[in-house]
A and B are shown apart, each in its own frame.
Chain A
Amino acid sequence: MGKGEFLGEFEQVVLLAVASLDGNGYGLGIRREIERRTGRSVTVGSVYATLARLEEKGLASSREGEPSPRRGGRARRHFRIRPAGIRALRASRGMLDSMWEGIDFGPSPESAEGHS
């Protein structure tokens, strides 16, 4: 199995965010989507670094958008997931699902502690 077919955790998160915005995602929207869903704060640098890696692997593609005054006249960069990206996400999920199969830890430790 080649290196390019593995997805890291953050790569999955970013790629899923791109997919959920369905082609309308650009850097800022993607970052917000991640923050909204995970509740974790994410830096713009790490998002772009990961997006660049996903592009290199052929899992996502990008195009330049229109410049806007709100952005100091700078253009947006929009991202869209590619079929290879969808396959990779499915593979990752399938791998995790098969690993989870038959495992039951009971209620999560945080909630257990919270009630004791």
Chain B
Amino acid sequence: MTPPPPRFFQLLAHLSAAPVDREPILGDLQEEFEERCDRDPADARRWYRRQVLGSLGPNLRRRARLVRNRHRGHTQGDGMMGSFWQNVRYAARAARHDIAFTSVVILTLGLGIGANSTIFSAVYGLVLHPFPFPEPDRIVGVGTAFPQLGQSLRFIEHMSPAEWEDIRDQSRTLEDVVAWDMGNRQIDTEGPPQNVFTGFWWGDALRTLGMDAHLGRGFTDEEVERGDAVALLSYRAWRDRFGADSTMVGSSLLINGNPHTLVGILPEGVLLYGMDLWTVLPARPSMWPRNRRQFQVLARIRDGVTQEEVNAELEGMARQTEIAHGGEFEEYRGWSQVAMTWNAVNSQLFRTGLFIVMGAVGFVLLLVCANTANLLLARAQKRRREMAVRTAMGAGRGRLVSQLLTESVLLSTLGGVLGVGLAILGARGVRDLLARLSLPVAGTVEVNTPVLVVTAAVAVAAGIVFGLVPAFQASATELGSTLQSEGRASTATASRQRLQRSLVALEVALAFVLLAGGAYLVNSFVRMSRVDPGFEVDNLLTMRLTLPREKYAGEAVPAFFQELTDRLRAVPGIRSAAAGTQFPTVAFSFRELWFDGREASADETLPVALATVVTPGYFETLGMRLLSGRTFETSDQAGTPRVAVLNEAAARRYLPGEDPVGRRLKIGGPDADAPWWEIVGVVASTRNRGLDENPFPEVYAVHDQVGGTQNQLFLLLRTDADPRSLLPAVRSVVTEMDADQPVYAIRTVNEAFAGAASTRRATTLLLTIFGVFALILAAVGIYSVVSFTVNERTQEIGVRIALGAEGTQVRRLVVRQALVPVLVGAVVGAGLAVPLGMGLRGLLFGIGVADPVTLASAAAVLVGAAVMASWIPARRASRMDPVEALRME
């Protein structure tokens, strides 16, 4: 039994053949194919493919003739579609004609369009559709800003239970207002225990989101009210960690050893801050002081209410709170609470970075267009006779323009097809990158219909943009002069050369902007990695402990931490251990300071500092340097005089020119009843609010002297080797002291730093890649224009050489002329780079957008590339044989 002919090629033959010829052609092919199969099936298939491919041209020509014959007699000229297909045919022929040119154009266009599509797919999935909520505009997070604490608007660990209750109980514009705290939990399974990032909820957030559980149900009001041990799993955790076992729902789940009922599975894509496990928070809101801000708030805008109305109401409530509690809590002065859609809240983090990259790829595409226009111009010159002949035969200007535009749109469409392929790869790369970053959004980055539509639009638009200039230029060719001579020095030539030079200048300007952008970011990145954080970041493990107030109160709290750190210090591999309410770069607790001897003035804003409660050994564990006085000792206890340590930033800013040691201060403001603290030492500042922020003033107090209110501390462990390897030992020490006590938020400081820098790193990497790509494109553009000019000037250069010009002189002449538009472009680019660089400001570190060194280095790289690109044709020119050159016509 003979195998059938290759299916695809059979289809191709079917589609390409004119309908009237289909039957005999396919029949002939099959008949001979079967004969050949009897001899050699593989060869038969090869033959079949060759036949079909070779028939494509004749088949299409035959079809075109049929179309033309049909039109003949109906209309005088060609019909719209007829002329369109004719244009396409011409275009395909022209593209085949110059395969090198076509591949360069399609490749660069593909890269440019592919980069745009990739970034757009990221914007679509991460910014425009980050969550699958049915009514995303109604789902809001409520953030807070406390100017008194130097805290701008934030939506994570920013609200206290009392503040949440105010909104829940009083708001008429919001409904289903829920709040949650976050931490790590361990799920015990038959295999190894699973560590999961967990949310502890007050309320049923699924109702807020307007969604049903994927399986089972959300929390009921009664469960929330009673604080039942119930849990929900994220779709991804359920699928990836528990094999999508639907029998799990309703069964018991051991969370940190405590049985919980798994009541449901969250819908896919409902992933808030990456929490894979939701449980009900059993503690009552009243257990937290009003200024303990570690919660997040999510709410639903009531039907028919606008976001503006919500924010007007929240503002009114904030002012009431200021009146009611401003006396007790200074930070309420001028504070605000703002509702923002959850989509916007979560895309904030990387929005800037993505939009910068989107701008950059837009520039890359413009550059590709300019480059293509330039190549087309050079090629149009070769085809000017063809154009002149067509004009002479009566083709109108419109016809020529439309033909040339068809050619360029055909090129950009092919580039678009390549671009889609690259975008599919690019989107996969972005997905892999995101998987490692754990961004707070759940949208998927993929090449979907909207991305394809945008890509198609971009491709066609690009084709028109880069095709328009050469199309009009070519169609304006003067008929007479072209046909008579080779059109040397005609006005058309002069205007074309002007155009080519302007395009080179444009390319250089665009490349300059991209290079400068990349250089700014690389520069910032290098500077940032050189920043001294003020402490030793390696081999530092941190985790958080919250002692339940029912169990630990007063003295018991510091005593627990004291004993815990003592025991941990004895663990082999742990060099030192301490605890503190915050550590660099985790900073959230700010207080006002009042220095003894200061004149009170009513409208003076009090100095603000990070107020950190620590155990003795904190500075030593972090590796902070002592500048004067002493640090805390174990003898600083509840009964002994209260002592405080300042960092250098606080000492310099608030006690300039004085020796702080021995001075007294009040933490929290000039309250008459508040105790005085004596400053006993000054330590070197750390980058306590992030590597890219200057050190913030900080005051330290010792845990023993603050008492039991500080029940939530970070453990800090300095280890000899890999910090993670000590985790089991640490857990067992904690369990020995209190079997029910969980530790969470386990991270090494290095991991925390890498996470914080990930957006910056990705943006830097991408912009650098685009900058290099832009540089290559600009070099290609310069090279093509210079070699073209050299060809045009062959005779003139020949005369020069014949008259005794040296090779160096000729090379210098060519390169010098090439550099004029490059320098113009560099100046324009530098002018553009400064205002456009403003968009990067948020990512810059240690340099400004007008940084002369960065701009100069970008210029140097570009000019260097330009010299190299023009050197090759220049050398060719200088080696020209003058006799040959002069003979050339």
A-to-B contact residues, CB < 8 Å: 26-28, 31, 41, 43-46, 48-50, 52-53, 56, 68, 70-72, 74-77
B335-351 CB contacts (< 8 Å) to partner A: none
Closest to A30 in B: B28
Is B54 touching A26 in the complex (CB atoms < 8 A)?
no
Is A43 touching B23 in the complex (CB atoms < 8 A)?
no
Is A46 touching B58 in the complex (CB atoms < 8 A)?
yes
Is B26 touching A74 in the complex (CB atoms < 8 A)?
yes
Is B30 touching A44 in the complex (CB atoms < 8 A)?
no
Closest to B47 in A: A41
A53 proximity list for chain B (CB < 8 A): 65
Q: Which 7 A-B pairs have the closest CB atoms?
A: A45-B55, A74-B27, A43-B54, A71-B27, A77-B24, A45-B58, A49-B58
Is A75 touching B59 in the complex (CB atoms < 8 A)?
no
Smallest beta-carbon distance A79→chain B, Å: 10
Task: Indicate whether A74 sits within 8 Å of B23 (C-beta atoms), given known contacts A43-B55, A45-B59, A48-B62.
Answer: yes
Please pick, from A26, A43, A70, the residue contacting B30 in the complex, using a CB distance under 8 A. A70
Q: Contact size class for B?
A: 20 to 34
Please pick, from B29, B31, B34, B62, the residue contacting A49 in the complex, using a CB distance under 8 A. B62
Is B27 touching A76 in the complex (CB atoms < 8 A)?
yes
| Complex alpha-carbon distance, A18 and B23, angstroms | 19
| Complex alpha-carbon distance, A53 and B55, angstroms | 16
B846 proximity list for chain A (CB < 8 A): none
Smallest beta-carbon distance A85→chain B, Å: 19
Give 11 A-B pairs besides A52-B18, A70-B31, A74-B30 with Cβ atoms closer than 8 angstroms.
Answer: A44-B55, A45-B16, A45-B59, A48-B58, A48-B59, A48-B62, A50-B58, A70-B34, A71-B27, A76-B24, A77-B24
Does B298 reach chain A (CB closer than 8 Å)? no
Please pick, from B23, B29, B57, B61, the residue contacting A44 in the complex, using a CB distance under 8 A. B29
B26 proximity list for chain A (CB < 8 A): 71-72, 74
Does B189 reach chain A (CB closer than 8 Å)? no
A56 proximity list for chain B (CB < 8 A): 69
Is B55 touching A75 in the complex (CB atoms < 8 A)?
no
| Complex alpha-carbon distance, A112 and B751, angstroms | 81
B65 proximity list for chain A (CB < 8 A): 52-53
Does B78 reach chain A (CB closer than 8 Å)? no
Task: Indicate whether A45 sits within 8 Å of B54 (C-beta atoms), given known contacts A70-B30, A70-B34, A71-B30.
Answer: yes
Task: Indicate whether A27 sits within 8 Å of B28 (C-beta atoms), given known contacts A44-B55, A45-B55.
Answer: yes
| Complex alpha-carbon distance, A113 and B391, angstroms | 46
B59 proximity list for chain A (CB < 8 A): 45, 48-49
Contact with A along B35-65 (1 / 0, CB 8 A): 0000000000000001100111111011001
Is A26 touching B58 in the complex (CB atoms < 8 A)?
no
B626 proximity list for chain A (CB < 8 A): none
| B26, B28, B34, B65, most chain A CB atoms within 10 A | B28
Does B21 reach chain A (CB closer than 8 Å)? yes
| Complex alpha-carbon distance, A38 and B27, angstroms | 24
A71 proximity list for chain B (CB < 8 A): 26-28, 30-31
Is B24 touching A48 in the complex (CB atoms < 8 A)?
yes
Smallest beta-carbon distance A1→chain B, Å: 20
Please pick, from B16, B25, B56, B62, the residue contacting A27 in the complex, using a CB distance under 8 A. B25
| Complex alpha-carbon distance, A26 and B567, angstroms | 99
Task: Indicate whether A48 sits within 8 Å of B21 (C-beta atoms), given known contacts A71-B30, A71-B31, A74-B27.
Answer: yes
Is A45 touching B17 in the complex (CB atoms < 8 A)?
yes
Closest to A67 in B: B27
Q: Chain B contact residues: over half helix, strand or loop, or mixed? A: helix
| Complex alpha-carbon distance, A48 and B26, angstroms | 11
Is A49 touching B61 in the complex (CB atoms < 8 A)?
yes
Is B51 touching A43 in the complex (CB atoms < 8 A)?
yes
Task: Indicate whether A75 sits within 8 Å of B23 (C-beta atoms), given known contacts A31-B28, A48-B62.
Answer: yes
| Complex alpha-carbon distance, A45 and B30, angstroms | 14
Does B386 reach chain A (CB closer than 8 Å)? no
Closest to A52 in B: B62
Does B32 reach chain A (CB closer than 8 Å)? yes
| Complex alpha-carbon distance, A84 and B314, angstroms | 95
B27 proximity list for chain A (CB < 8 A): 27, 68, 71-72, 74-76
A52 proximity list for chain B (CB < 8 A): 18, 21, 62, 65
B-to-A contact residues, CB < 8 Å: 16-18, 21, 23-32, 34, 50-51, 54-59, 61-62, 65, 69
| Complex alpha-carbon distance, A52 and B30, angstroms | 21
A43 proximity list for chain B (CB < 8 A): 50-51, 54-55, 58
6 A-B pairs (CB sep. < 8 Å): A27-B24, A28-B28, A49-B61, A56-B69, A68-B31, A71-B28
Task: Indicate whether A44 sits within 8 Å of B16 (C-beta atoms), given known contacts A49-B59, A49-B61, A75-B23.
Answer: no
| Complex alpha-carbon distance, A71 and B35, angstroms | 11
| Complex alpha-carbon distance, A44 and B24, angstroms | 10
| Complex alpha-carbon distance, A56 and B62, angstroms | 12
| Complex alpha-carbon distance, A52 and B34, angstroms | 26
| Complex alpha-carbon distance, A42 and B26, angstroms | 15
Smallest beta-carbon distance A4→chain B, Å: 13
B17 proximity list for chain A (CB < 8 A): 45, 48
| Complex alpha-carbon distance, A43 and B54, angstroms | 6
| Complex alpha-carbon distance, A56 and B31, angstroms | 27
Smallest beta-carbon distance A72→chain B, Å: 5
Task: Indicate whether A48 sits within 8 Å of B25 (C-beta atoms), given known contacts A43-B51, A43-B54, A43-B55.
Answer: yes
| B21, B24, B31, most chain A CB atoms within 10 A | B24
Closest to B54 in A: A43
Please pick, from A41, A44, A50, A68, the residue contacting B25 in the complex, using a CB distance under 8 A. A44
B28 proximity list for chain A (CB < 8 A): 26-28, 31, 44, 71, 76
Closest to B60 in A: A45
Task: Indicate whether A28 sits within 8 Å of B54 (C-beta atoms), given known contacts A49-B59, A74-B24.
Answer: no
A77 proximity list for chain B (CB < 8 A): 23-24
A50 proximity list for chain B (CB < 8 A): 58
| A43, A45, A53, A74, most chain B CB atoms within 10 A | A45
| Complex alpha-carbon distance, A92 and B17, angstroms | 30
| Complex alpha-carbon distance, A72 and B31, angstroms | 8
Closest to A42 in B: B54
B29 proximity list for chain A (CB < 8 A): 44
| Complex alpha-carbon distance, A49 and B21, angstroms | 9
Smallest beta-carbon distance A93→chain B, Å: 25
| Complex alpha-carbon distance, A58 and B21, angstroms | 18
| Complex alpha-carbon distance, A76 and B69, angstroms | 25
| Complex alpha-carbon distance, A93 and B844, angstroms | 82
Smallest beta-carbon distance B632→chain A, Å: 91
B61 proximity list for chain A (CB < 8 A): 49
Smallest beta-carbon distance B591→chain A, Å: 86
B23 proximity list for chain A (CB < 8 A): 74-75, 77
Is B31 touching A28 in the complex (CB atoms < 8 A)?
yes
Is B25 touching A45 in the complex (CB atoms < 8 A)?
yes
| Complex alpha-carbon distance, A77 and B23, angstroms | 9
B50 proximity list for chain A (CB < 8 A): 41, 43
Smallest beta-carbon distance B814→chain A, Å: 42
Closest to A45 in B: B55
Closest to B57 in A: A45
| Complex alpha-carbon distance, A26 and B31, angstroms | 12
| Complex alpha-carbon distance, A27 and B13, angstroms | 15
Smallest beta-carbon distance B746→chain A, Å: 69
Smallest beta-carbon distance B46→chain A, Å: 12
| Complex alpha-carbon distance, A50 and B65, angstroms | 12
Task: Indicate whether A46 sits within 8 Å of B54 (C-beta atoms), given known contacts A70-B31, A70-B34.
Answer: yes
| Complex alpha-carbon distance, A27 and B22, angstroms | 12
Smallest beta-carbon distance B766→chain A, Å: 47
| Complex alpha-carbon distance, A71 and B28, angstroms | 7
Closest to B59 in A: A45
A44 proximity list for chain B (CB < 8 A): 25, 28-29, 51, 55
B25 proximity list for chain A (CB < 8 A): 27, 44-45, 48
Closest to B35 in A: A70
Please pick, from A28, A45, A74, A76, the residue contacting B32 in the complex, using a CB distance under 8 A. A28
Smallest beta-carbon distance B570→chain A, Å: 87
| Complex alpha-carbon distance, A107 and B235, angstroms | 85
